[in-house]
Amino acid sequence: MKTFPMFLRMQDRHVVIVGGGEQAAQKARLMLRTEARLTLIAPDLDPELQGLVREGRATWQPGLATAADLRGAALVFVAQGCPGADAAVHALAREAGALVNVVDAPDLCEAITPSIVDRDPVVVAIGTEGTAPVLARQIKTSVEQMLEPSLGGLAALAGRLRDAAAQRLAPRQRRDLWRWVFDGPARTRHAAGAERDAARLIKEVIASGEVPAPSVAPVALVGAGVGGADMITLRGVRRLQEADVIFHDRLLDPGVMDLARRDAERVYVGKTPGERAWPQEKINGVLVAAARQGKRVVRLKCGDPGVFGRGAEEADALRAAGIDYEIVPGVTAASAAAAAGGGFLTERGVTDTLVLSTGTCRDGATLPDWATHLRPGTTLALYMGVGKLPELEASLARAGVLECCTVEVTERCGFSDQRQFACRAAELQGLARREALRNPAMLLIRNPLEAQQTDAVLRVV
């Protein structure tokens, strides 16, 4: 991020627009939405700007701008239409210590004008750091369609009632109140034009001190998907934005946490191989403890919480403590690995059965006999299996399928350093040594319905 988005309080602040033509008029229209004091500096003004001066909505200083004219301005727009003259005024404004926006000159802009969705007091600003204004306008159009025209009125009503809510409700109740207001019947009625009815509903809840119970469970076991932050579902993002505390794994893309509520507590509970800092029992305990404190809890896991993510153990602990929970599925590594290679987990005429298994079991547990599942037409998705390649080869050899199976390997699926390979199953250990394969990795072991399909499968990666 080269620019930092921030809203400036403009009440009674001085804003200067240098220029008297259409570009200057565009900036004037924008600033007239605020409560700033507007000064126009130009030898001449177009009819629109002359009208603003006559109405007393702006003052006009004829002539050319000087550094003294710009001193003390909160913001200076330079819109004369001449690159050389604009650059000269930019230098004067910088000398005067003002923030400057030069129209159509991103390199001379300390302040960049965003595309704005105005539902005063709700304001959404969209910026592309001056690189793609057309894209910013397209995003603006989409957001305009998302937000009903009356939303600002509801936000203003909420602002007027904040003190009353603070007097009657505890902090957690207040958060639940405003979630209910903006995601429930009050917003629906307000959007339909029944503003008084919506206000009555909100006031009744505040007066009673009884906020309607949230429609979601206090704990969400959320799958973040595999690799990039854009692999998480919309529901997963909503739960992150509602959470008071997030217990998260290792192997997450850092961008996923950027989607969370800014003031949410973040607790790393990842298990690094060979370390025991966060055994599963401890994770179970902190989930229960946080929920009992009245916090909204997200347990954020890579992939899908229901696929080799120990989600069932955490759910059992919550259920035993009488705490409700929600499971939010994520894109699991098997699906992501197949897609990354341009292929599919199943394919008519080639693979009609899919088996998910793991190469990481509890200490002392007997490993699965993976080859028993590999009948013709089967894809075996083996999670974290790189450390068990000798055992895997022995299993396939005992079942007599070592020579007919192919393997697709995806290491660090979805990340920028992802690697993919394909080979025959009998060649897998040699490939692993040659390429120094390591977990996290997904092995897609395929036994196609017909032997002639083998070469086609090998060409997928």
Phi first, then psi, for residue 56 (nearest 5°) are 80, 15
Catalytic residue at 369?
no
Distance separating alpha carbons of residues 369 and 391, to the nearest angstrom? 9
β-strand 441-447 against 406-411: which pairing, if any? antiparallel
Q: In what order do the strands lie in the sheet with 406-411?
A: 353-358, 378-383, 441-447, 406-411, 419-424
Active-site residue among 140, 203, 271, 295? Answer: 271
Q: Is the peptide bond before 254 cis (omega within 30 degrees of 0)?
A: no
Instruction: Tell me if 40 sits within 8 A of 61, measured CB to CB.
Output: yes
Distance separating alpha carbons of residues 157 and 418, to the nearest angstrom? 50
Distance separating alpha carbons of residues 39 and 24, to the nearest angstrom? 11
Instruction: Tell me if 327 sits within 8 A of 239, measured CB to CB.
Output: no
Establish how many alpha carbons lie within 13 A of residue 87's alpha carbon, considering only the half-sphere containing its beta carbon: 4
Measured in whole angstroms, how far is the alpha carbon of residue 391 from the centre of its chain? 40
Instruction: Tell me if 30 sits within 8 A of 115, measured CB to CB.
Output: no
Residues 6+ apart with CB under 8 A from 433: none
Distance separating alpha carbons of residues 184 and 209, to the nearest angstrom? 17
Measured in whole angstroms, how far is the alpha carbon of residue 437 from the centre of its chain? 31
Active-site residue among 244, 249, 253, 304? Answer: 249
Whose CA is closest to 17, among 67, 80, 71, 66? 80
Catalytic residue at 258?
no
Distance separating alpha carbons of residues 442 and 384, to the nearest angstrom? 6
Instruction: Tell me if 342 sits within 8 A of 460, measured CB to CB.
Output: yes
Q: Tell me which residues are annotated as active site.
A: 249, 271
